[in-house]
Amino acid sequence: MEKPKILVIDDERDQCENIVIILSSRGYLVEVAYTAGDGVKKIKKTFFNIILLDMRLPDYDGIKVLERIKELSPDTEVVIFTAYANIENVIEAMDKEAFSYISKPFEIPHLIAVLKKAYEKQRILFENRKLFQQVCVAKKDWENTFDSISDLLCIHDENFNIVRYNKAFAHTFKAKKEDFIGAKCFEIIYGIKEPCHTCPYLRHGKNLKPETEEIDCPHMGGIFQITRFPRYSKEGKLDGVVHVAKDISKQKRMEEKLRFSYKMASLGRLTAGVFHEVLNPVNIISSHVQLLLMEAEKGSRTEKDLKSIQEEVKRIVKIIDALLRFSRKGKLVTEDVELNNLLEKVIFIVEPDMKLENVRFIRRFEEGLPKIMANSDGLRQVFLNLITNARDAMPEGGTITVKTRIVRLPADRAGSTKLAHLPFLPAGRQGVGQGVRPLVPIRAGSKKEKVSLPDRQAGELKTQYSELKGDFVEISFKDTGCGIAKENLDRVFDPFFTTKEEGKGVGLGMSTSYGIIDHYGGRMSVESEEGKGTTFTIDLPVKD
């Protein structure tokens, strides 16, 4: 331990020599200054733990010297030392942060006791400062570690108020460091108005275990796996919850591709296996029906029944052909495509017939669109499917608005797409906290309904706008038709799903269209409201 350094500022030389002898014998390092000026010079060069300051000096007033000492060396303890004491001087000196006051003549034990107390105060001050610095370093190290974690971290207290979150959390919500402090965790993280029923604070007891769920968070921009870790005080009381949110959108997308590929492979094997087995007897039936029609009496019931059989045979052939084409996933030759030009050609082909059915086109094409890499025939098929469906939804006529524009995703689409939620729950358990797996993104109309898919569709993720990044060309087809029923909205892209009359379609048009768009790295979504119309939106990546 270092020896305390003491400076005596006093003009009485004999007194100073006595103090040096007394203090040096007790282990203090002592220096002397006989004037205030000499004392200030020493203070500028050396740090002194304690200064014994005489109040009456030949060159400066003691109070002024005290002020100067505290200005030059704030941590130095100053003990006032004089034979001319009065209460006013004592009060003023103590106001100027003097440690204590000793009157001359002094008693050695009293002097030593005061010096020990002054040094002990200073030692505690230095230790506390060192500990505080260590705490600051540890806190900064913890903050750096906290902020360096790529997962979203958020801590809330017993009142659901957010008390801390890391940089990843702030970046996801485009927030500054203190924006969400004091905000309710369930409003920010889950976008709801009340605490989650699975929150640890809504249950009693100790030793609650961490809980994990998967949720679709449009406001967070993806699918997240959220784990809640209960936090306990030293007394074992639950005093907070740590949320850890991990973005698993890419993982879900890969799972979807694997599931879709497996399903298509299975469908292809099934189709190839039954194609000839079904088509051969169908051809025989068709041939015999044609022969019988040649012999049937015109207008007879027999002719009518045979023609009905012939129509059903054609329908079987149509379904088998569509199924075969749908299940084939051969590579499509891609080329530079100018979407506005391609759309204009498609509309030019169908517009004359559409006018006869009182259907009018509205073109809103953004000029100067960049090219995309795709197959013109494939896109033509998609556009014709959408236009045909729009026409069928408007038996009394209406308008089809075809719009193109360049967008930058995800920024331009932020908040505009509602993502449907797929229950992925054990039997009898519902709601946030039991593992909601979001799968099909749909814009659910003006009422902003969230569509829940049936369990049989588990794993059939259709599109995730949170994964689209960069420049895209957006094409939308908006009709003024009857719209899609809410209960059917989540099934739009399912193979063989159709709301058309029997014989009017086999339900593969939208599934095929989705597959084509997905093949080009694009996304397809639907927004609809019954009685007002439907909008299909396609996003295709711009050619690099």
Verdict on whether the full-model pTM lies above 0.85: no
Helix, strand, coil % (nearest 5) of the chain?
45, 25, 35
Q: At what angle do helices 249-295 and 301-327 cross, to 10 degrees?
A: 150
Kindly report, residue by residue over 37-74, the tens digit of the pLDDT.
999 999 999 999 999 988 878 878 888 888 899 999 99
Q: How far apart are CA 327 and CA 319, in angstroms?
A: 12
**How many Å is the maximal CA-CA distance in the chain?**
150
- Tokens 């020493």 sit at which residue? 42
3-state secondary structure of 531: coil
Q: How far apart are CA 298 and CA 342, in angstroms?
A: 47
Per-residue pLDDT, averaged over 216-223, amounts to: 74
The answer to whether residues 115 and 50 touch, using CB atoms and an 8 Å cutoff, is yes
Give the H or E element holding residue 411.
none
Predicted pLDDT of residue 508: 61
Is residue 504's pLDDT more than 60? no
Predicted pLDDT of residue 463: 39
Task: Name which of 519, 485, 529 is nearest 538 in CA terms.
Answer: 519
Is residue 201's pLDDT more than 50? yes
Predicted pLDDT of residue 416: 38
Per-residue pLDDT, averaged over 337-351, amounts to: 91
Q: Tell me 76's DSSP state.
A: -
- Give the residues across from 56 on adjacent strands: 61
Is residue 402's pLDDT more than 70? yes
- Predicted confidence band of residue 536 (pLDDT cuts 50, 70, 90): very high
Predicted pLDDT of residue 453: 30
3-state secondary structure of 13: helix
Q: How far apart are CA 115 and CA 28, in angstroms?
A: 10
Per-residue pLDDT, averaged over 262-289, amounts to: 75
The answer to whether residues 19 and 8 touch, using CB atoms and an 8 Å cutoff, is yes
- Sign of the torsion angle spanned by Cα atoms 365, 368, 369, 371: positive
- Which ranges constitute the DSSP H helices of 220-248? none
What CA–CA distances, in Å, run from 359 to 347, 476, 483, 538?
12, 17, 16, 22
Q: How far apart are CA 80 and CA 76, in angstroms?
A: 13
Q: At what angle do helices 62-72 and 87-95 cross, to 10 degrees?
A: 10
The residue that leads in pLDDT, 213 or 472, is 472
Q: How far apart are CA 85 and CA 98, in angstroms?
A: 14
Residue ranges of domains in the chain, CATH in brackets? 5-144 (3.40.50.2300), 150-247 (3.30.450.20), 252-327 (1.10.287), 335-418+443-541 (3.30.565.10)
Kindly report, residue by residue over 468-483, the tens digit of the pLDDT.
567 899 999 999 998 8
Q: How far apart are CA 163 and CA 528, in angstroms?
A: 40
Q: How far apart are CA 401 and CA 442, in angstroms?
A: 20
Q: Tell me 184's DSSP state.
A: B
Per-residue pLDDT, averaged over 363-369, amounts to: 92
Predicted pLDDT of residue 464: 40
Is residue 196's pLDDT more than 60? yes
What CA–CA distances, in Å, run from 86 to 94, 493, 494?
13, 96, 98
- Predicted confidence band of residue 501 (pLDDT cuts 50, 70, 90): low
Q: Side chain identity at 215, as an amino acid letter?
A: I
3-state secondary structure of 344: helix
Predicted pLDDT of residue 447: 35
Which strand ranges, in their side-by-side order, compose the sheet holding 238-247? 162-165, 152-156, 238-247, 222-232, 211-217
Q: How far apart are CA 363 and CA 340, in angstroms?
A: 10
